[in-house]
Amino acid sequence: MSTPGSAPLPALDLGQDAAAVTAQLVDIPSVSLAEKELADVVEQALRALPHLTVDRDGDAVVARTNLGRPERVVLAGHLDTVPIADNVPSRLDADGVLWGCGTSDMKSGVAVQLRLAATLPEPVRDLTFVFYDAEEIEAARNGLKRLVERHPEWLAGDFAVLLEPTDGKVEGGCQGTMRVRVGTTGRRAHSARGWLGENAIHKAAPVLARLASYEPRRVLIDGLEYREGLNAVRIEGGHAGNVIPDDCEVIVNYRFAPSRSEEEALAHVREVFDGYEVVLTDSAAGALPGLSHPSAAAFVAITGTDPAPKYGWTDVARFTALGIPAVNYGPGDPKLAHTREEHVAVAAVLEAEERLRAWLSA
């Protein structure tokens, strides 16, 4: 909130449709770890709504209805964006396309949340709206992770929808992700007398060969096919342009189906690289689809689309860890996320708002 002597906060006009609210949000920069102004603006708008209870932790804001409904649905979205690439302020073109940083990932989804918070004072299900910070950077800083640790009671619910961009489709669960370092060692020498050393980078060739010949699984879960992947994403090694390197590390990313635990995934990676040192550097469990939940089935029916698997990791996994089935659904196109040309169709944003409103009103 604004403090004495500070500039007044811009006010969100939640009487406008979700596409117009998206433009308002895009015009307030909120790169990861610099979300405070947007969090202040969102909190101000929510506190003006008498039917909501509002709480805040850092730059995460949570608002809830308390109507005594037999079921509670959580609608969640992150406030932050990747660094701006000369694409703020927003721009609406004549074809009904809104351009700007965060239009797809995921200020259009956040706008839909805010519109529903403002215009559904008596939904058929109690609602919790979660707006959190620092999703686009390392997991340790993730605002939803912080809420899970500090205030899990704020997140209590029977079903959750994460409004990440899915191009208007319901995406069930998410893949798990893991990064490891696969290391090789050698012996330093002057490159003019390379035969006196052992080149650790050359020794990494069999590691790359195993990756090139690796055949990833396709796993069917609740009718959704998850495609795994094991890929080198970086190689580190060498000291100078005239030195035979004595160490090399291949950084490998494993994307695994949510039916496989983190422990099982690591065991598999160690098996693939048997004979090499494998060091785990980062890991996050996946999330099962959750489509068997009655609310999920009703939501899928309202959207009129066939559900798809989520390729990639999202915070639905945090809700799954809390025992809350969750799906991804949002108006943006995930292929446009993080690009300089990021944009969203106005019609897609309005459709997402309409579908969620119909589901929460029926």
Cα separation, 362 vs 207, whole angstroms? 55
Helix (H) or strand (E) holding 159: strand 159-162
The string of DSSP codes covering 280-309 is: EEEEE--B---TTSHHHHHHHHHHTS--EE
Residues sharing a CB contact under 8 Å with residue 194, sequence separation 6 or more, in sequence order: 244
> Is 135 a catalytic site residue?
yes
Cβ atoms of 31 and 42 within 8 Å: the answer is: no
> Which residue reads 């990833």 in tokens?
216
> Is 37 a catalytic site residue?
no
Give the torsion sign (CA, 66, 67, 72, 78). Answer: negative
Q: Is the peptide bond before 309 cis (omega within 30 degrees of 0)?
A: no
Residue among 356, 18, 317 at smallest CA distance from 178: 317
The neighbour count for residue 242, using CB atoms within 10 Å, is: 9
Cβ atoms of 120 and 356 within 8 Å: the answer is: no
Query: Within 13 Å, how many C-alpha atoms sit on residue 29's CB side?
Result: 11
How much is the CA Rg of the chain, to the nearest whole Å?
Answer: 23
End-to-end CA distance of the chain: 35
Annotated catalytic residue within 80, 105, 136, 249: 80
Which amino acid type is present at position 173? G
The bridge status of strand 243-244 relative to strand 72-78 is unpaired
Cα separation, 330 vs 334, whole angstroms? 9
Residue among 121, 118, 90 at smallest CA distance from 13: 118
The string of DSSP codes covering 34-62 is: --HHHHHHHHHHHHT-TT-EEEEETTEEE
Annotated catalytic residue within 126, 135, 158, 249: 135
Catalytic residues: 80, 135
